[in-house]
Amino acid sequence: MSAPQVVLEGVTRRFGDRTAVAPLSMTVDAGDRIGIVGESGSGKSTLARMIAGLDRPSGGTITIDGRTQTAWMSTTAGRRDLRRRIQLVAQDTTSTFDPRRTVRDALRTPARLLGGHSGARADAVAEEAVADMGLPPAMLDRHPHELSGGQRQRMAIARAMVVRPGLLVCDEAVSALDVSVQGAVLNRIVRYCREHGAGLLFVSHGLPATAFATDDLLVMLHGHVVEHGRTGAVLSSPVHDHTAALVAAHA
């Protein structure tokens, strides 16, 4: 799937009287790798969910490849096509896997239905995806509850990649991983984006991982983007006090 262009114009999200995301405009072009950082409650996960189509904006417009997200979501075929274009990997993966199905089923089904692979090829894609995540083939025949949190996280990343999305949205997708495997998984994510010309939205509170995976950075605070620019420049010479505090906390 070719990488979509995603355009946000004045997008907001409110929950009652609380503004989770203040009016925000941005464009994600093919191949862009953008980090979104901020403290808990800053609005970064809400922004990621809106871009992925899992949460509806309270105001403003999200356009994907020239068509509004509302139009994509208005039909079953449109929603399926949007899932092919954009895949979200969330931090909490427990509820995203069917406990009755094996990992093999969880990977080959989206590979077949959304990735366009035949039955035999879908099986091979599932096996390759598990190997790419540094996990043994035996994992394929286990159920989600038999995996550790970190293993489920890697399976969730693999599941997103078998669809071959043009935009991968990672919301704290490596936070549950041991440091010993985090680097390898980050390498795989970046390699996927480069090989397929895919975009990446990388939501995290971890600055080292964000610095490795992204080229551009947004810093959010109380729903507002308070600083943005090239990742290296923002982290090495922060302008906003909040950015400086985040950098100092990771020093």
144 belongs to a structural domain:
yes
SS3 content of the chain, % helix, strand, coil (to 5): 45, 25, 30
**pLDDT, tens digit, for every residue of 52-68?**
999 999 999 999 999 99
131 belongs to a structural domain:
yes
State mean pLDDT over 197-219: 95
1 belongs to a structural domain:
no
215 belongs to a structural domain:
yes
Report d(CA 152, CA 114) in Å as an integer.
Answer: 21
SS (H, E, C) 137-150: HHHHHCCHHHCCHH
How many distinct structural domains can be found in the chain?
Answer: 1
The domain in which residue 217 lies consists of 6-249
Query: How far from chain centre, in Å, is Cα 104?
Result: 22
With a cut of 90, say whether residue 199 has pLDDT above it: yes
27 belongs to a structural domain:
yes
Burial class (CB in 10 A: 0-12, 13-18, 19+), 133: buried
Nearest alpha-carbon partner for 1 in 86, 90, 88, 108: 86
CATH number assigned to the domain comprising residue 204: 3.40.50.300
With a cut of 80, say whether residue 178 has pLDDT above it: yes
**pLDDT, tens digit, for every residue of 118-166?**
878 988 989 999 998 888 999 999 998 898 888 999 999 999 999 999 9
